[in-house]
Amino acid sequence: MESSGQRRTTIKDVAEAAGVGVATVSRVLSGGSASAGARERVLAAAARLDYHPSALGRNLRRRRTGGVGLLVPDITDSFYARLADGVLSCARSYGEPVTVGVTGDDPERESELIGTLIEQSMDRVIAVPSGDGDVWDPVLRAGVNVVFAGRRADPDVPDVPAVLADDRDGVRTAMEYLTGLGHRKIAFLARRGQSQRVAAFTGALAALGVPVEDDLVVHARASRDSAYAAAAGLLQRHPDVTAVLAGGNILGEAAVLAARELDVRVPRDVSLIMFDDVPWAELCSPPLTVIAQPAQDIGYRSAELVLRQGRRPREVVLPSELVVRASCGPRRPRR
């Protein structure tokens, strides 16, 4: 472990070995202009000494850290894991390292992590925003390139591009499907911060002429426990509900478990549609009908937006898709 005496080979060593000045070495290595002879000798010396330029020195001089920061609520959630995978995959093709932070959907942790990022002089950040948009003001004023992925900040932050899935369309399709099966009492099991989707839900129902009942929208926090409690509470307190839309895969999982525990059969007693297609949706019993989200694409496109300089569109909307499996059936009154 102790590397006493081991000194990192610097640009100075290369310059000396090649018989040129440090400026020339720097130019050759970063694509500047140099004579053929000099270029050749520098390259040879660099290879011989196994020289790797230090990102530290470069970053300090350039006054910015390379790489991009990524803030997600929960890396354990398949949706965010796939989103992160998309970001990582794009960043890799640019050779940029990615620093990941988990916010737990907690505004306080989020602003704490933002603090770390600006301390690191990260100037490019992709975030699934948790708290209100104000925390982003100092970041933007510091000239950081921010892109929101998957959702917008709640009091919206202008000038920040966002890459989103088409929730509105996904929900509309799902509601048409459910009402087509005869359902009228449809509940939405939402996570806090899904105001976007809640709006799409009530909007879609209203457009279909179905009365919207406010207390059929129940909210849970981000944890599995909270999701289960909300799902069980919903099924118990509202025996007249015949269909449930779960706002994410954690909530869908909770709904399946709660239904099983309470002896509510799917789809006989209640129909279930879940946001986000995950590998296990097909393995579940019954296989779950889902609104598939292009999580990986969202991540990839966000990374592209943040890494590729040039004009940036204010919003990119990617399509959602209803994948019909076996968790929905015709309406039958429960009990």
**Residues of the shown chain interacting with DNA in the complex, contacts defined by CB under 7 A:** 7-8, 10-12, 19-27, 29-30, 33-35, 37-38, 51-54, 56-58, 60-63
Query: CB 134 → a second copy: shortest distance, Å?
Result: 16
In the chain, the amino acid numbered 99 is T
149 interacts with, out of DNA, a second copy, none, CB within 5 to 8 A per kind = none
318, 294 in Cβ contact below 8 A?
yes
Main-chain dihedrals φ then ψ at residue 290, nearest 5 degrees: -135, 160
Q: Which residues, at least 6 apart from 301, have a Cβ–Cβ distance to it below 8 Å?
A: 86, 163, 316, 318
Query: CB 38 → a second copy: shortest distance, Å?
Result: 24
Closest to 246 (Cα-Cα) out of 283, 277, 282? 277
293 interacts with, out of a second copy, DNA, none, CB within 5 to 8 A per kind = none
19 interacts with, out of a second copy, DNA, none, CB within 5 to 8 A per kind = DNA
Task: Decide if residue 128 touches a second copy (CB under 8 A).
Answer: no
- Closer residue to DNA (CB): 95 or 211: 95
Sheet holding 289-292, edge to edge: 217-220, 186-191, 243-246, 271-275, 289-292, 321-323
27 interacts with, out of a second copy, DNA, none, CB within 5 to 8 A per kind = DNA
Q: Which residues, at least 6 apart from 287, have a Cβ–Cβ distance to it below 8 Å?
A: 281, 325, 326, 327
Burial label, 124 (beta-carbon count in 10 A; 0-12, 13-18, 19+): buried
Range 279-308, binding a second copy (CB under 8 A): 279-280, 282-285
Question: What is the C-alpha to C-alpha distance for residues 17 and 44, in angstroms, rounded to an integer?
Answer: 9
- Closer residue to a second copy (CB): 95 or 211: 95
- Closer residue to DNA (CB): 8 or 314: 8
Question: What is the C-alpha to C-alpha distance for residues 145 and 282, in angstroms, rounded to an integer?
Answer: 38
- Closer residue to DNA (CB): 25 or 117: 25
Range 143-162, binding a second copy (CB under 8 A): 143, 145, 159
Q: Which residues pair with 186 in a beta bridge?
A: 243
Q: Which residues, at least 6 apart from 109, have a Cβ–Cβ distance to it below 8 Å?
A: 102, 103, 130
Query: CB 74 → DNA: shortest distance, Å?
Result: 32
Query: And the tokens for 43?
Result: 């390259």
Task: Decide if residue 75 touches a second copy (CB under 8 A).
Answer: yes
Query: CB 100 → DNA: shortest distance, Å?
Result: 24
Number of residues that bind a second copy (CB under 8 A): 59
Task: Decide if residue 88 touches a second copy (CB under 8 A).
Answer: yes
Closest to 71 (Cα-Cα) out of 116, 34, 7, 121? 116
- Please select the residue that binds a second copy; options are 21, 32, 57, 182, rule is CB under 8 A: 57
List contacts with a second copy (CB under 8 A).
1-3, 6, 8, 52-57, 59-60, 63, 65, 67, 74-76, 78, 81-82, 84-85, 88-89, 92, 95, 97-102, 109, 115-121, 140-143, 145, 159, 224, 253, 256-257, 278-280, 282-285
